[in-house]
Amino acid sequence: MHTDIIHTLKLLKKRWKNPGAMEIGNPYQNVVGVLLSARTRDEQVLKLMPRFFRAFPTVQKLAEATPKQIETKINTIGMYRQKAKNLKGLAERVVSVYDGTIPRTLEELITLPGVGRKTASVVLVASFNTPAIAVDTHVHRVTNRLGWVKTKTPEKTEQALLKIVPDPWKKTVNQVFVKHGRYVCIQKPRCWACPVKDLCAFQKKNLEAPKNAHAILEDIEQREAFLETLREDAV
């Protein structure tokens, strides 16, 4: 099983070479980005990052801001009032409890307002090179289709994946499956464009490429290139 998992991840890493969209900057910048990205398109979050970090370049500056001041920098995304409240609380806790340093463990990270296991796992991987697996709907869907797990919820998927994915490859899971689930292994999967279709247990494969297959693949490349440009300019 481990051999198949590593082989699959290697193939997908060749296909999706870029880091995760919210793998940006230092731990403070990283945790802010991931928190803001909840139920929000990555592009929207990345576009507001430069002005946000000009206003609040450190967690100390963010802790000093009012929720209203934070809102004015993130009001282009959904749930911005709640996210501003969480950011304020997060910053205050980091300053008061952790001496202004973003904590390095899952147990500590999830005590921060707005930070759940998924957010914490992304930060652990991106900022601290700690083996963890962030499971969203894409990771949950794709790994179930592959036959790696048979689970009903992202939480159960995370528990199962942590047991079967070797530590050196845990960080790759979220990086490749979020992109793969967004562009290829969608609700009606584009198995015709999948580099690991022969390693996949999914029974209802869609192997016939549509007439506009070239345009679809070109659009994917353009979207990925645009996202990477935004990520590089975010901080």
Q: Which residues are catalytic?
A: 118, 136
Q: How far apart are CA 125 and CA 5, in angstroms?
A: 19
What is the 3-state composition of the chain as percent helix, strand, coil, each rounded to the nearest 5? 65, 0, 35
* Residue 203, token pair as written in the block: 């029974």
Q: How far apart are CA 153 and CA 91, in angstroms?
A: 30
Q: Rounded to the nearest 5°, which phi and psi values hold at 150? A: -130, 85
Question: Cβ(33)–Cβ(43) under 8 Å?
Answer: no
- Helices 117-128 & 167-183, crossing angle to 10 degrees? 120
Q: Which of 168, 226, 162, 235 is nearest to 18 (CA)?
A: 226
Helix (H, G, I), strand (E, B) or coil at 205: coil
Q: How far apart are CA 56 and CA 133, in angstroms?
A: 29
Q: How far apart are CA 207 and CA 77, in angstroms?
A: 37
Q: Which amino acid type is present at position 119?
A: T
